[in-house]
């Protein structure tokens, strides 16, 4: 059956149920925008920035060690004001006099970030903060008092010449930017980047399409939509697995601290960077296409952290980038005036018949197609799950249940409430099951 000949409900047109949701437009007053581009510092600037990165590591690691020791011995927390006073004491230490040779703004920003990291840890949104290593990604945050951007030239504190960078957005005038923060970073492969963070007004919402879509994420197919479309999983990490293994074996054979080991580590980092950039580009293209084509997007709240504990599927799941895909959908929907609904992860979308609502007692992961014993409908597992996800999102938005909000505690899922009459897309127990 051609796409033009399909019924409207199979194409994702659920206008009768979506009309009350299409008026929802996120209209924040201020939005944070960031532009990241390549930087090419000269040798003198690299020396200053590398020295700044080293001082940031010293401040971060010493402050983190002091926090841990104070908690272990005194059972007392540490406030940001106390860490700020400790930074002043560090600069007075003759052994740490080099801290005064770099700008103080990145050092203070490191303390603020550590305080935020602990707040996220206590709120159970992140893991415990770790010590910084010189072998990982290095970055320094400069606020307005430590940089100037005039006429398209960026000057940082403690540097004489402007920092060269390549602007990659011809539709945006770099001379008219008013960034609130500039982030200079160095990747493990040796590349330098500069990021301009600025506050902008709300963007114009996209034209409404009258369409909604449910998305079922997977490994074989990256995403299956409720209209029957499938987005193939590119498996970028799997493509580079053999090259990465060869580079890592060469790295393991090199003597620690040698120049050959540094070059081998750079090759490993470059291979990972190519995989990371290709995956990010794929996710941006897929998320942008979905946001532009639909007014309502419904996805599942997947517990990726728990799923990667399966050692047989950990690499394949990590290669998909589901968390990054959800993050991109969230901010792009907010900017475009679309609505994103995240349903409960325990919703039985795969084993529920989308036409009649019959709920199977068991459905193994290896079963990709199944026939409903109630109405006789033949289902593709993933397409059926995507249809149920869309229906559950509409029902949950109508009653205010089953939605996972990122800023508030989860609401009681709709599937845990009292049984409801048989409705398409909503699971109902049949025959006393």
What confidence score (pLDDT) does residue 3 get?
36
Q: Which two tokens stand for residue 158?
A: 């403690």
What confidence score (pLDDT) does residue 416 get?
36
The 10s digit of each residue's pLDDT in 373-417 is 988 889 999 999 999 999 988 887 676 544 443 333 333 333 333
The 10s digit of each residue's pLDDT in 343-381 is 888 888 888 998 888 889 888 888 889 999 988 889 999
Return d(Cα 85, Cα 269) in angstroms, integer. Answer: 37
What confidence score (pLDDT) does residue 399 get?
65
Q: Which stretches of the chain score pLDDT less than 50?
A: 1-28, 401-433
The 10 Å Cβ neighbour count of residue 338 is 27
- Helix, strand, coil tally for the chain in percent (to 5): 45, 20, 40
What confidence score (pLDDT) does residue 12 get?
36
Q: Find where tokens 């959800």 sit.
A: 326
What confidence score (pLDDT) does residue 9 get?
34
The 10s digit of each residue's pLDDT in 153-167 is 999 999 999 999 999
The 10s digit of each residue's pLDDT in 24-35 is 344 446 788 899
What confidence score (pLDDT) does residue 433 get?
38
Q: What residues act catalytically?
A: 216, 300, 382
**Average pLDDT, whole number, for the chain?**
85
CA distances from 224 to 298, 368, 385 (A): 12, 13, 9
Nearest Cα residue to 185 out of 168, 165, 200: 165
């Amino acid at each position: 059956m051609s796409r033009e000949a399909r019924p409207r409900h199979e194409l994702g047109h659920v206008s009768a149920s979506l009309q009350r949701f299409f008026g929802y437009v996120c209209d924040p007053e201020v939005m944070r925008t960031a532009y990241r581009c390549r930087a090419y510092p000269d040798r003198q600037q690299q020396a200053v920035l590398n020295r700044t990165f080293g001082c940031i590591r010293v401040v971060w690691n010493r402050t983190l060690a002091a926090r841990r020791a104070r908690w272990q011995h005194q059972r007392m927390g540490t406030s940001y004001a106390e860490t700020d006073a400790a930074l002043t004491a560090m600069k007075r230490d003759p052994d740490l006099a080099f801290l005064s040779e770099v700008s103080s703004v990145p050092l203070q920003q490191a303390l603020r970030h550590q305080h935020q990291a602990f707040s996220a840890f206590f709120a159970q949104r992140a893991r415990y903060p770790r010590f910084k290593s010189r072998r990982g990604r290095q970055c320094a945050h400069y606020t307005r008092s430590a940089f100037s951007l005039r006429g398209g030239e960026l000057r940082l504190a403690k540097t004489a010449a402007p920092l060269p960078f390549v602007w990659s957005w011809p539709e945006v005038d770099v001379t008219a930017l008013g960034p609130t923060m500039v982030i200079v970073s160095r990747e493990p492969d040796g590349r330098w980047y500069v990021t301009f963070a600025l506050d902008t007004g709300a963007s114009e919402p996209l034209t409404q399409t009258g369409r909604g879509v449910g998305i079922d994420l997977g490994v074989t197919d990256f995403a299956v939509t409720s209209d029957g479309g499938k987005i193939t999983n590119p498996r970028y990490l799997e493509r580079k697995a053999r090259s990465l293994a060869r580079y890592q074996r060469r790295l393991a054979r090199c003597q620690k601290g040698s120049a050959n080991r540094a070059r081998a580590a750079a090759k490993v980092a470059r291979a990972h960077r190519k995989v990371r950039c290709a995956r990010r580009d794929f996710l941006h293209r897929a998320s942008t296409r979905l946001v532009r084509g639909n007014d309502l997007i419904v996805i599942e709240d997947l517990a990726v952290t728990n799923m990667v504990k399966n050692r047989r599927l950990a690499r394949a799941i990590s290669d998909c980038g589901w968390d990054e895909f959800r993050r991109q959908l969230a901010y792009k929907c907010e900017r475009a005036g679309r609505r994103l609904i995240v349903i409960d992860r325990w919703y039985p979308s795969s084993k529920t018949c989308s036409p009649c609502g019959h709920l199977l007692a068991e459905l193994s992961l290896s079963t990709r197609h199944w026939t409903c014993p109630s109405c006789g409908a033949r289902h593709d597992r993933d397409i059926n799950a995507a249809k149920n996800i869309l229906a559950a999102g509409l029902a949950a938005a109508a009653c205010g249940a089953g939605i996972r909000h990122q800023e508030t505690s989860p609401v009681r899922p709709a599937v845990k409430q009292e049984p409801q009459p048989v409705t398409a897309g909503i699971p109902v127990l049949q025959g006393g099951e």
